Structure formats: C-alpha cells, structure tokens
Chain A
C-alpha cells in the first residue's frame, strides 16, 4: 500500500501564499492529476511532496509515515522534471544506474534493473547512447525510466510533456498511463493541459490560488463542474451572467428554466449541449460565424446584447451568417456564490 496524505499544507513565500490549507489523499496505485492555471500552486505542492520545498505548515505522509521534513534524497518518491534534467556527462545507462549505485546494489543487479526499465519505456538497447543523441521524447522516457528504476512508492511528474510537440505528447501520455497501470504505482501528475488531465487521470484535482476547487473523476469534473471557475477551465464552456426570476434564467432574450430562488446567477452550458434551431421570427439570437472542422462545426452565436456563445453541430452547411435562431440547452448548470444551484443533465 502506498498512500499519500496531505493534511492542511500551506506554503508561503514572503507575502505570497502559494498553497493554502491544502488537503488530499491519494490512494494506492491511483493516478491523480493536479490541474490548474499558472500560479495555482500545483508545482509548489508537487515539490513539497518531493521534498524540494518545506511546507510552512501542515503534514505530508506516505504510508502513514510523516515525511514533511524529510530531504528529497531520503524520500520514497521519484520525480520527473519538465526539462528532463538528464545528466549530460553520463550516458543513458549511467543516468539510470546512478541512483542504484548510490544504494550500493551489486553490479549485475544494477544492469538487470536498468535493462528491464529501458525495455519498459521502449528504449531497449539505448543504454550506451549519450543523452544529447536522443530526441525530446526519448529524453523524457529516460527521465521517466530514471525514476522508475528506483521503484519509488510515489511517482511525481511535473508537466513532463510540456516541452514536447502535440503528437509526441499524446503518444507519451498513453505510454505513461500504460506503464503506470502495469506497475500500479501511485502517481501525481502536474499539468495545466486539461486534455492531458482528462485522458490520464483516475482523479483530477483542479487548483486555483493554492486551494482545491474540485477533486473528482475526470467525467464528473467535465460534466458536473463544482464552480464556475472549473466550468470555465475544463474544456470549452459558455458562461452567461444573468439572473433567475420566477424559475427562469434570463439574459438578453436567452431564457432557460432554472428552478432556483430569485437572484443573480451564472449559466454554464457546453457547446455540444447547446442545441440551435432555426427561428421563424427574430429568434433568441443570430449566427455570427460558422467554422467547419470536417467532423463537426462550431457555430458562433451572438445574443442581442452582443454576448457570444458557441454551439457544436454536426453539419456546417445548415447554418449561415445572420440567420435567426433559437437556443435550447440540453444540459447545463447554474451557479450562484461559487456553488451550483441547479443542474440539468
């Protein structure tokens, strides 16, 4: 069992609080993505788990053992850095063997472990190569292998694919997921890429200003965002500021039934959940632009007050600029005071 527990962890840098009373429990073999915009505290949190930063207050424990003030070299964690951080004066084999040599393992065992991990990351036979002879993707695999070879209890990945191109990033994240599931290693993955988080994670923790906005399964975070921030941060979301009166949300001619108390509200509806239909008269809105992506089309809609919304449809040719339309959200959520007051799925 490798369970990571973070209890009320706060990290302050002079006047700035990077992580604020953060709580999280990561279960054995679970892959948790810390997702958030730049400055949300996700990397600082990861660095505290890895031992590279000391929390101002709070407790970090691994398998019930308090590691809050344990230095990184003595922690059962392995970190993969964004910049690979390979040692260029060592070849691939030596990069991987370094940690094992420090543990004074026999030479034969070191060789066996290194070769096994190189095979695991698809770099069998690359041991003799200089690290600067490898591509960006290969270098990142070596960095991953360097952590895995030590069989850490917790694997920490700090935006490991940020410096790679889109194609390679997609391929590597699938490989990382496969390896993680095969080894059943408890993993924390920091990213600001929502696609990456949705594709990889067992659970996503959305962070903002050092705090948790929502911690849930990817499908829940996507379909039932807890706050307007999460709704706006994950995927594309139409966020409309308006008011609920007599069970109806209204904004510039756009009306949606919301059975909640009267007052200001934010309506969140995804483009794929916003149906559009030709209107006989003036309609709720007009079409501003249609972008055809082949497999689907994105229709930019303009409400009478100029507010823009997006709708995803199957056919671009059905719609044209200026066409009056009516809007019918199939699934949506309404928020007030940073909390959902109604959901319709």
Chain B
C-alpha cells in the first residue's frame, strides 16, 4: 500500500513539476504572436474606426470603410485582387493535382526529376522570377524574338496586364501546393486504391470517388495557403501587374507612400485581412476536422 501511494505521488509530483515547463515553452511564441500580430491587428482596427475630428478629438467613425466601399477605384482594386486570387487558386489546383498524382503513383528516376522541378520555384526569389518573366514574355522578350525569327507575329504580352501577376504567382506557388497535395495523397493507401480497382473502378471513378474525397482536406489546406499568400502578395503584382486597377498589396503601398494617407492604407489592410481570415478559418476548420478524424 505504501509503495503504491509513493508511486502514485511520484507520478502526480512529476506531472505537477512538468506543467510550468510546458507553459513556459509556449509562453514565448504566444507572447510574440500577441505582440507582433494580435496587437497590430487590434491597433490597426482601432486606428481606422477611432478617427480624429477637426478639433483633434478622436471619436468612433466608419468613414474610411464607407469611402473604400463607395470608391470605384478601390472596389476595382479589391475585385482585381479577388479575381487574381481565385484564378491563381484554380490554375494551381489544375496544374498541381496531376503533378501530385503522378508523383504519388509513379516510381523511378523520372518521378524524382519531376519532383525536383516542381519544388524548384521555391528557391527562386520573387524579384528574380519577375524579371525572368519580363525577359521571356515581356515586349521584345525571348518568345517574341523566337516568333519573329520564324516570321510569326508577336504575342500579346501578359506583362502589365492582370495575367502577368497570375503567371508569376502560379509559378511561385506550385511547390507549396504540390507538397501539400502530395502529403494528402500519401495518406491514401495503395490497398484502398486496389480495392476500388477490384470492384471495377476505372481511372476517373478512382479519382472522383476514392482519391478526391480522401484528399479534400489537403485541397482545402492548399487552397487556403495559396489564397492567403496570393491575396497579400506584393512583389509580383507590383512588378508584373497593371498600374490600374492594381492588387491590394501595391495599392496599400501607394496609398501609404505616394498618396501619404496612412489611415486609408491601414483601412485597406484591415479589409484585406478580413478576406484573408475567412480563408484562414477554412484552414483551421480543416485542421480541426483532421484531428477529430
């Protein structure tokens, strides 16, 4: 009896001794998140709804938001950002899903090379990528020169059109999307695929009824991640995109620096954050669903 009690006390004591260590371990990241993310968000929202009047006194006002949602130029910029994000997410899934399926089921050296190629964009900085695209697809770029050499007319360059950032952002986000989808496909066992083939499923039935439902969470996570990245992107839309309308990233920078209106720039940031958090919630829901399963 004494021994049992001593062992029990020992276990309890050990547990008691552990919990402050656990809390201390999470304290630092929690503090950093609070300091560098949560507080700036609260501060930004506060600064956009608690505005100074002519006398310098601050009062609650939704004036900046009202301006944003009534200003056609701002709405065009928001629409362009949403359009670019949606198109990029769709193209990314259409490109990365076949690549991931190939990498999941193919064996051998070629698959290793394809994987290397798919991950390669991760190691190319956005600014380098931007100028590479300008040199290749821009006016008088490599493609134009090649077409000209065989007597064909020039292409209509995507540079400085909405398609410029789309091409750059898709290329830039391929590695992350492929890795997320590949990790989801890794959870689909060979035997469950063989069982489906055994009951008569051809390739499309296999993809539609077995593989896609099993990786739906991974698709959601991939879409959430890419949407979050693309919505708040700056370099590629700034270098490759049109001057007007422009995506939210360059729009915020221009409002802050060129127009010298920090409050409006912060308002744009809060609105962008509002859209991003919707996708963030998708991601959190997906993770929670996975854990519950």
Contacts and interface: CB of A to CB of B under 8 A. Distances in A.
B199 A102 contact: yes
B40 interface: no
A98 B196 contact: yes
B283 to A, nearest CB: 20
B201 interface: yes
Given A83-B189, A85-B189, A85-B191, A147 B198 contact: yes
B202 interface: yes
Contact of B200 (A50, A52, A103): A103
Interface string B231-259: 00000000000000000000000000000
A102 to B, nearest CB: 5
Given A87-B210, A89-B213, A102-B205, A79 B195 contact: yes
B32 to A, nearest CB: 38
B191 A73 contact: no
Given A87-B210, A98-B209, A102-B205, A146 B199 contact: yes
A132 B213 CA distance: 16
B210 A72 contact: no
A33 interface: no
A72 B192 contact: no
B63 interface: no
A232 interface: no
Interface in A60-90: 71-74, 77-79, 81-83, 85-89
A86 B201 CA distance: 14
Contacts of A98: 196, 199, 201, 209
A226 interface: no
B209 A50 contact: no
Contact of A73 (B189, B202, B213, B293): B202
Contact of B198 (A79, A86, A87, A132): A79
Interface residues of A, number: 27
B201 A73 contact: yes
Nearest to A94: B209
Given A98-B209, A102-B205, A85 B192 contact: yes
**Residue picked from B202, B209, B210, B214, most chain A C-beta under 10 Å:** B209
Contact of B191 (A78, A81, A146): A81
Given A73-B201, A99-B200, A85 B194 contact: yes
A205 interface: no
A150 B196 CA distance: 12
Interface in B261-293: 293
A269 B191 CA distance: 42
Contacts, number: 64
Nearest to B216: A89
A77 B198 contact: yes
B195 A150 contact: no
Contacts of A51: 197
A342 B67 CA distance: 103
Tell me which of A86, A99, A103 has the highest count of chain B C-beta atoms within 10 A of its own C-beta.
Answer: A99
Interface in B179-213: 189, 191-192, 194-202, 205, 209-210, 213
A72 B205 contact: no
Given A89-B213, A102-B205, A81 B199 contact: no
A150 B199 contact: yes
A50 B205 contact: no
Contact of B194 (A81, A146, A150): A81
Contacts of B199: 73, 78, 98-99, 102, 146-147, 150
A77 B199 CA distance: 9
A196 to B, nearest CB: 20
Contact of A50 (B192, B198, B293): B198
A73 B214 contact: no
B50 to A, nearest CB: 48
A68 B104 CA distance: 26
B194 A52 contact: yes
Among B195, B210, B214: residue with most chain A CB under 10 A: B195
A99 B195 CA distance: 10
Contacts of B198: 50, 72-73, 77-79, 147
A71 B196 CA distance: 12
A98 B194 CA distance: 14
A83 B194 CA distance: 12
Contacts of B205: 102
Contacts of B293: 88, 132
10 contacts: A74-B200, A83-B191, A87-B214, A89-B214, A98-B209, A99-B200, A102-B201, A147-B199, A150-B199, A150-B200
Interface of B: 189, 191-192, 194-202, 205, 209-210, 213-214, 293
Given A77-B198, A79-B195, A146-B199, 6 more contacts: A72-B197, A78-B199, A85-B192, A87-B210, A99-B201, A103-B200
Interface of A: 50-52, 71-74, 77-79, 81-83, 85-89, 98-99, 102-103, 132, 143, 146-147, 150
